[in-house]
Amino acid sequence: MIIVRISGGLGNQMFQYALGRALSIKNDTELVLDISNFNYQKKEDAFRKYTLDVFNISGRIAKPEDFINLGITNPGNQNLLAKIKRKIERFAESKKLLASRKTIIENQFLFIPEILEIKESCFLIGVWQSEKYFEAVGEQIRRDFKLKTPLSTGAEMLRKKISINNSVAIHVRRGDQVSNPHLAKKHGILNEDYYISAVDYIKKRVPSSHLYIFSDDTEWAKKNLQLGENVTYVSDFALPDYEELTLMSLCKHAIIAKSSYSWWGAWLNDNPNKIIITPKNRFGTAGNDDDLIPKSWIRV
């Protein structure tokens, strides 16, 4: 049994699921999703919701007895005694070889190859933002992330437009990466220079391109990004995030933000000739993020 904690926004949830799914396939065992974290989020994260159930995913939701059978304290139990027991358990686990631990906590953003050596039941806590965790079962992951239900009327109308032109998805994420000082420092804020440079790169290689803007701050994008004609602001249609993600993945090319959400929009794109533009550094300062960005993507 592979239990994986699901937390954060949709993009992070997809990374967590993808690792769990890959290990469950590799070990021919059951995948279990722990969504208890959504019951005790920090105030600033309270808008996050479990969303993976809109997709054709495998696995079931964790039950308290799953953690008992694994021999660890239920993470959904938030009383003081349970918190103390978990702290003791995890300290003891940290002294073991990674692949033999019952609870495995991600301690870095770079790919940890030992994770793929896991053969025993375990509980995984982290984000796991590298395709190296699941590239061996990439086609299965793509199938899992197909929507269960047809697109809404508005989304279907956009899908038809996207399919008939040289569509380029542009994700402009601002929101908490601007308003939250911690996230702003961690990721760095992408300004108009990045998007203008990326659009210029695309337009030189994709004639008559049509730009589709996906953003949590459409007004900022309209005001600050002078993109010319052939622009559609998808977020004006007030679609749910999973429909926007699907539409993003259906565009022929993409310009993504420092965001796991648009990472997935680009990765799920099955155009063999796609051009994906990504920020030069995944985080606010230069560092080794080679495991996080596929080699075929263009850094700007």
CATH of the domain at 249: 3.40.50
Whether residues 194 and 291 share a domain: the answer is yes
The confidence score (pLDDT) of residue 161 equals 96
Question: 251 and 234 in contact (C-beta within 8 Å)?
Answer: no
The confidence score (pLDDT) of residue 100 equals 86
Whether residues 295 and 156 share a domain: the answer is yes
Number of domains in the chain: 2
The confidence score (pLDDT) of residue 228 equals 79
Beta strands in 40-182 (DSSP E): 60-61, 103-105, 122-125, 166-172
Closest CA to 9 of 291, 262, 272: 262
Residue where one domain finishes, among candidates 123, 143, 163: 143
Whether residues 164 and 113 share a domain: the answer is no
Whether residues 117 and 164 share a domain: the answer is no
Could you tell me the pTM of the whole model? 0.91
Q: Which residues of the chain have pLDDT under 50?
A: 179, 181, 184
Tokens of 67: 């953690």
Whether residues 96 and 170 share a domain: the answer is no
Whether residues 128 and 230 share a domain: the answer is no
The confidence score (pLDDT) of residue 173 equals 85
The confidence score (pLDDT) of residue 226 equals 80
- State the residue range of the domain holding 134: 2-143
The confidence score (pLDDT) of residue 184 equals 44
Residue where one domain finishes, among candidates 143, 178, 193: 143
The confidence score (pLDDT) of residue 78 equals 84
Q: How far apart are the first and last CA of the chain?
A: 41
The confidence score (pLDDT) of residue 164 equals 94
